[in-house]
Amino acid sequence: MILALSRTCLGGGFRRSHYAVAFAAQAPDLPPQSSLSSPSSSSIQDAKRALATKNKSYKKLQKNKGLLRADRVLSNRGVGSRSETTKLLKARRISQPDPQTGKLVTIVGPSAKIDPNVALFLDGNALPGPPPVALVYHKPKFVLSAMSDGEGRAHLGEKIEQSRFTTKGMHPVGRLDYETTGLILFSSIGDLTQRLLHPRKGIEKEYVATVEGVVNEEELRSKLEAGVETAAGTHIANLMEVSSVGSRECKADKLGDEVSDKRDLVQELADIRLVVKEGKHRMVRRMLANCGHPVVELRRERHGEVRLGELPVGQFRHPTHAEMLWLDSILTQSRG
Where do the structural domains in the chain lie, given as residue ranges? Answer: 68-126, 136-335
In angstroms, what CA-CA distances link 197 with 201, 298, 335? 8, 20, 15
Residue 87's nearest CA partner among 112, 69, 106, 109 is: 109
Which pLDDT tens digit goes with each residue over 65-120?
678 899 988 887 878 888 999 999 999 999 999 988 889 999 999 999 999 889 99
Tell me whether domains 68-126 and 136-335 share a fold: no
Q: Is the pLDDT reported for residue 328 higher than 80?
A: yes
Q: Note the pTM of the prediction, 2 decimals.
A: 0.67
pLDDT at residue 55, as a whole number: 66
Mean pLDDT of 19-28: 46
In angstroms, what CA-CA distances link 308 with 175, 184, 213, 260, 328? 15, 9, 27, 44, 19
- What is the C-alpha separation between 129 and 120, in angstroms, rounded? 8
pLDDT at residue 262, as a whole number: 47
Q: Is the pLDDT reported for residue 277 higher than 90?
A: yes
Residue 188's nearest CA partner among 129, 111, 143 is: 129
According to CATH, what is the number of the domain 136-335? 3.30.2350.10
- Give the domain 68-126 fold: 3.10.290
pLDDT at residue 197, as a whole number: 93
Q: Is the pLDDT reported for residue 134 higher than 90?
A: yes
- What is the C-alpha separation between 106 and 103, in angstroms, rounded? 10
Q: How crowded is the C-beta side of 46, counted as CA atoms within 13 Å?
A: 5
306 vs 5, more confident: 306
Of the listed ranges 77-81, 230-234, 290-294, the one predicted with least confidence: 77-81
Q: How crowded is the C-beta side of 148, counted as CA atoms within 13 Å?
A: 1
Q: Which residues, 6+ apart, have CB-to-CB distance to 331 below 8 Å? A: 133, 189, 191, 192, 195
